[in-house]
């Protein structure tokens, strides 16, 4: 369909239904993206500094240094 001016007519239908996800699902996806970004950063740093990617041993050390997921116990490692 077109209007008299020749501009296309935009038909707006029902909006896509939002999928309601639990906080747990959202936090899990966020944590996955954060872990991935942490590893990508470590890999980029290795390539910049050493001219190569991480070895298996270096990757294991990087994973041990990962600070943890969002929503994990904030008191981990602290004594109150």
For the chain, what percentages of helix, strand and coil (3-state, to nearest 5) are there? 50, 0, 50
- Taking the C-alpha atoms of residue 58 and residue 47, their distance in angstroms, rounded to an integer, is 12
What pLDDT, on a 0 to 100 scale, did the predictor assign at position 6?
A: 60
Taking only the tens of pLDDT, the chain with its 80 residues reads 444 556 666 667 777 766 667 888 999 999 999 999 999 999 999 999 999 999 999 999 999 999 888 876 544 554 43
Listed in sequence order, the residues at least 6 apart from 53 whose beta carbon sits closer than 8 Å to its beta carbon are 43, 46, 47
Enumerate the β-bridge partners of residue 2: 8
Q: What is the pLDDT of residue 73?
A: 57
Domain ranges of the chain: 23-65
Overall size of the chain counted in residues: 80
């Amino acid at each position: 369909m077109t209007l008299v001016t020749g501009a296309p007519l935009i038909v707006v239908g029902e909006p896509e239904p939002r999928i309601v996800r639990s906080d747990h699902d959202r936090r899990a996806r966020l944590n996955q993206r954060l872990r991935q970004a942490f590893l990508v950063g470590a890999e980029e740093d290795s390539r910049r500094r050493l001219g190569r990617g991480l070895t298996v041993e270096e990757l294991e050390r990087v994973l041990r240094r990962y600070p943890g997921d969002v929503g994990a116990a904030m008191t981990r490692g602290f004594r109150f």
